[in-house]
Amino acid sequence: MKSIKFNFLETEELRELIEKVYFENNNGRKPNNINQSLKLNYDSVFYKILLGMDYKVKIKSDIIDGTMLFDVKENETYIDLIPTNMFCVKEDGKYSFY
Whole-number Å distance between alpha carbons of 15 and 11: 6
pTM of the predicted model over 0.75: yes
Which residue has better confidence, 42 or 71? Answer: 71
pLDDT band for position 61 (50/70/90)? Answer: very high
Whole-number Å distance between alpha carbons of 31 and 33: 6
Q: Following CA atoms 71, 6, 1, 55 in sequence, which dihedral angle do they give, to the nearest 10 degrees? A: 60
Mean pLDDT throughout 14-43? 92
Is the pLDDT confidence value at 70 over 90? yes
Q: DSSP letter string over 2-63? A: EEEEEE---HHHHHHHHIIIIISSSTTB--SS----EEEETTSHHHHHHTT--EEEEEE-TT
What pLDDT score does 34 carry? Answer: 86
